[in-house]
Structure 1
């Protein structure tokens, strides 16, 4: 090929590669992945054509945009496939976390390898042929993306969309739209006069309601209570729930548990209020909404509250003579469950280290479900042989990313996620069968539920859809399907009501052991959507700070009548109610002191493999407000150590991605030479989902005597100086 021909060929290849990368692959993958929606295609073509124009003949800018596009697009597909949600703006750092990419989707690396390979290869081709030469694109070419994105905005406004966000947007378009709408919302708030004159009423959400007709007028006859909490299971997996709510979901992932549901009282319209296990457990066991955003979990905040914890279910039952127990398949230190569970009233709290039976497969988070329930059965047998009534809460881990299932299940199911669910179905059903054979069901209230929902792609509200199955001795006196809207916030009141015990005033919600003639208010925050239901109107507020209203008697419904959009003051009422509910523990105060040291012996591993699973401290997902200073102090002592000592590392993460905090190195830990460390850092902007990861390698046992995190307001003069600096930059 002659040089002149080669020069004319290069821009053509570059343009074709950019077209394939930004438009053709996204459109084709949307169709092949089943994410087809007119809004989504407009988003792909409109935003893709804009990126193409920006990259063409701009090699430096093009390189940056191409790399960002590839990482975002692959990570977006992986997250949707793995947990059924699209990233939020606060997940940006999370998207490029190599640990996330390694553990994402079905526990086997990349879930869409051909899609990822195609993106990477075409991106390399585009970068290789990207040049400043070639015909200049006319400025009117920009009318193409402007017209398409404008049509997308009009379509979004004129026609209500109930499909998932990833069907309506590609990720960069969604993030840009989120920023634009945030600015619009702020401007509208300013024009309307700023904050509301008075705080909205939240009594309907926060108060206890026992005005319903009791299903068991004389109370329940059971003497014990067993709560089985399964990791991440949506309500759609239970046949009775699907049928009661007329769901279009046709798969039957848990047939054996669905058969057990026919023997008890199933509540299908059951709301999960948040994501994350510790938040779900708090709502279940303390009768209160956890944070309806990504702030510090209330279970952690509860460690500073010596009164509210006494109103949680374990503490209440303990005060009535029950022995109280918590047993999970994972380690306890993650998210401070080793402290939170005893604090809310569990006399005995055990994790992975308690189990002596051999697991059937290796799983980074803990016991596989079959081995877990076999160990738990032995625990129940010992409890049931005692005269004292008992409460036991179980928590599985096998259906947590990256999912746990043996090879024969992996061969029977199309994905590791489905195999893990099938494995759990058999394990929990075998456990219930054995409880029945042992006679435990005759005098024990057994409740089967899940901590959160790992979602179902293309199924409306799947991220907030849970279930509650009550297996009570009075099964003939309870309805098989319990109508009405309930949620995790109602579980504490329901159990205390079953045993006819006093219910503290600070407990929220209704009792599932009662029928109510009047509708109720309930709220949820999952997949970045804040949703409130008052029994007649369902309001859903999205990332654009725009709320859509629907006429709906239930919360989890297949379809609902669209009533229109609201924004400004009306939309802000929903978020303000959520913010007020978020302050039930802290009261909005900033200067809180967290102590994460348990002073219990910890056996170190010879090699750290995962800074999540091997974390020695439970200080995760904290919030540091803007204009504060955080001070961290720690003291660690070696109880038993070989001559080589132990190497300790402290990492900090925000939204699960490493963040640069100046932390002094921790000296080599040796016996008789405790290490102490103290440092602080300023929070000039709000930090959310902030986590500390303390890991250690060595042969021996250590004790963490102090790991305190104190966040207090910055000195006034420093805040003023920072504001002056920001004003100068703005000007």
Structure 2
């Protein structure tokens, strides 16, 4: 699982950009199961990490990555670990930032960061955020090689940093001017292609699923309180030996990504996730949770409901290209109640320590004959 720092869908030619800065990722669209209607939970990395590891809507105040009493929550790693996987969170900077190492080490993952890079490994570039993405992928591949050598399957969550100010990247990798957003995006594109090329030589490549998405978009500014175009992120699920290419247009929330992947792996498990396996979800129930620190969005049926402090409310029919919207009159109270319920229940479950895992939460459940049938019976995949 690669979560790319600040990668907006509209960087890509696939979504209309004409700068040609993502040629490899645009090409990968036609080789992957590609989701083109996906929306992030928030505007900061910790919200993306929360969505991808816990599959819950944003909770009030700080992300649970930084919250007190955030140990032993039910995480994606719990599901993998119960099946004998080694789960690692791999970051190219120092994971004490934003409490990442503490959170992942206490929720089923082994945190691996800048401190774990060998002193004799070449570092092609680094800045205040960490090493260049290609060096991060080298670190991740070393983890993959080591776990595979032990005879275990692996689940890695890799968090990139190169597509972040100051946008400095290794010399000679891209033609765009170093220190610009264009250079950082182009380098993101180059380094992922390079990683996949290197991984293709590994004995585990054919049975590895590569899930590539973003933590959030590059900008959150707009003329509405929650400009929906500033939450649109891409998702590739790439495993050429097992998953045929397809475009999926259904609305998808960031919290649905990993439950969908677990469904494709034919895993059956007792869950505390709020996210859905999109391929098992009946049409009409799709929704997403674009939010800011104070304003909580709920997108369903082309209506964006925004809950604000002091019980203020905004409800719009959003323009997905501009982020503008037309007020809904009269207000759809059902959607207001649904939005309130999702956010309030997530908050209350965390506050009452009910998002934690019980001893039986990790126990694999014998699947029904037709359960999670979107991918059919599959071999063990990493």
TM-score higher than 0.5: yes
2:92 pairs with 325, 329, 333, which one? 329
CA offset at residue 469 of structure 1? Answer: 0.6
Match of 1:498 in 2: 264
Picking from 232, 244, 247, the partner of 1:481 is 247
Structure 2 gaps, min length 5: 354-382
Contact 2:229 2:322 (C-alpha < 8 Å) held by counterparts? no
Q: Which runs of 5 or more structure 1 residues have no equivalent in the other structure?
A: 1-226, 243-247, 590-731
Confirm whether residue 255 of structure 1 aligns to residue 23 of structure 2: yes
Question: How do 1:402-551 residues align onto structure 2 when only pairs under 5 Å count?
Answer: 402-408=166-172, 412-413=176-177, 416-455=180-219, 461-473=228-240, 475=242, 478-514=244-280, 516-526=282-292, 530-540=296-306, 545=312, 547-550=314-317
* Count of aligned positions: 347
Change (3 A) 1:345 1:332: same
In structure 2, relative to structure 1, the CA distance for the partners of 1:522 and 1:561 (3 Å cut) is: same
1:383/1:390 contact within 8 Å kept? yes
- Which sits farther off after the overlay, 511-520 or 465-474? 511-520
Distance in 1 of aligned mates of 2:164 and 2:21: 16
Aligned partners of 1:229, 1:501: CA distance in 2, in Å?
22
Deviations 1:295-348 (A, max 9, x none): 122234474554xx1x211012111111111211010111222211021101x3
- Structure with the bigger RCO (C-alpha within 8 Å, sep 6+) is 2
How has the CA–CA distance of structure 1 residues 440 and 259 changed in structure 2, closer, same or farther, with 3 Å as cutoff? farther
TM-superposed CA distance for 1:232, in Å, is 1.0
| Secondary structure of 2:161's aligned partner | coil
Structure 2 length-normalised TM? 0.78
The question of whether the paired residues in 2 share the 8 Å contact of 1:286 and 1:492 is answered with no
CA distance in 1, matches of 2:282, 2:331: 32
SS in 2 for 1:298: coil
Report the Cα distance in structure 2 between the residues aligned to 1:518 and 1:256, rounded to whole angstroms. Answer: 33
Counterpart contact for 1:305–1:585, Cα < 8 Å: no
CA distance in 1, matches of 2:93, 2:127: 10
Residue 378 (1) aligns with residue 146 (2):
no
Cα distance in 1 for residues equivalent to 2:235 and 2:188? 17
Question: How much has 1:418 moved relative to structure 2?
Answer: 1.4
Q: Which residue of 2 aligns with 1:185?
A: none
In terms of fraction of residues, the more helix-rich structure is 1
Matches within 5 A, 1:67-82: none
Looking at structure 1, the residues matched to 89 and 108 of structure 2 have their Cα atoms a distance apart, in angstroms, of 10
Contact kept? 2:132, 2:170, Cα under 8 Å: no
SS of residue matched to 1:522 = coil
Equivalent position of 1:230 in the other structure = 4
Q: Per the alignment, do residues 321 and 366 of structure 1 end up closer, same or farther by CA in structure 2, a change over 3 Å counting?
A: same
Matches within 5 A, 1:139-150: none
Q: Residue 361 of structure 2 aligns with which residue? A: none
Q: Distance in 2 between matches of 1:344 and 1:262?
A: 35
| Equivalent position to 1:290, from 39, 53, 58 | 58
Determine helix, strand or coil for the equivalent of 1:437.
coil
Within the candidate set 108, 120, 124, 1:360 is matched to 124
Q: Give the SS at the match of 1:270.
A: strand
User: 1:441–1:473: 8 Å Cα contact kept in structure 2?
Assistant: no
User: For the structure 1 residues 250 and 529, does the alpha-carbon distance in structure 2 shift closer, same or farther, using more than 3 Å as the test?
Assistant: farther
- Cα offsets for 1:653-692 (capped at 9, x unmatched): xxxxxxxxxxxxxxxxxxxxxxxxxxxxxxxxxxxxxxxx
Residue in 2 aligned with 1:277? 45
Give how far 1:574 is off: 7.6
Per-residue CA distance 1:611-666 (angstroms, 9 max, x = gap): xxxxxxxxxxxxxxxxxxxxxxxxxxxxxxxxxxxxxxxxxxxxxxxxxxxxxxxx
Q: What is the Cα deviation at residue 355 of structure 1?
A: 1.1
Report how far residue 447 of structure 1 moved.
0.3
**DSSP 3-state at the match of 2:272:** coil
Contact map agreement 2:21 2:182 (CA 8 A) in 1? yes
- Using the TM superposition, give the Cα deviation of residue 479 of structure 1 relative to its aligned residue in structure 2, in angstroms: 4.7
Cα 1:352–1:563, aligned 2, differ >3 Å: closer, same or farther? same
Q: Quote the offset at 1:419 in angstroms.
A: 1.0
CA distance in 1, matches of 2:17, 2:292: 20
- For 1:235 and 1:435, locate their aligned partners in 2 and report how far apart those are by CA, in whole Å: 25
Match of 1:587 in 2: 351
Q: What residue in structure 2 maps to residue 265 of structure 1?
A: 33
Which structure has the larger Rg?
A: 1
Give the Å deviation of 1:363.
0.3
RMSD, aligned α-carbons: 3.4
The 2-side partners of 1:278 and 1:457 are apart by: 18
**Partner Cα separation in structure 2 for residue 536 and residue 412 of structure 1:** 37
Structure 1 pair 463–313 and aligned structure 2 pair: CA distance change class (3 A): same
SS at match of 2:351: coil
Q: How many angstroms apart in 2 are the aligned matches of 1:358 and 1:329?
A: 14
Taking a change above 3 Å as real, the CA distance of residues 520 and 528 of structure 1, as seen in their structure-2 partners, is same
- Kindly provide the CA deviation profile for residues 33-90 of structure 1, in whole angstroms up to 9, marking residues without a partner as x: xxxxxxxxxxxxxxxxxxxxxxxxxxxxxxxxxxxxxxxxxxxxxxxxxxxxxxxxxx
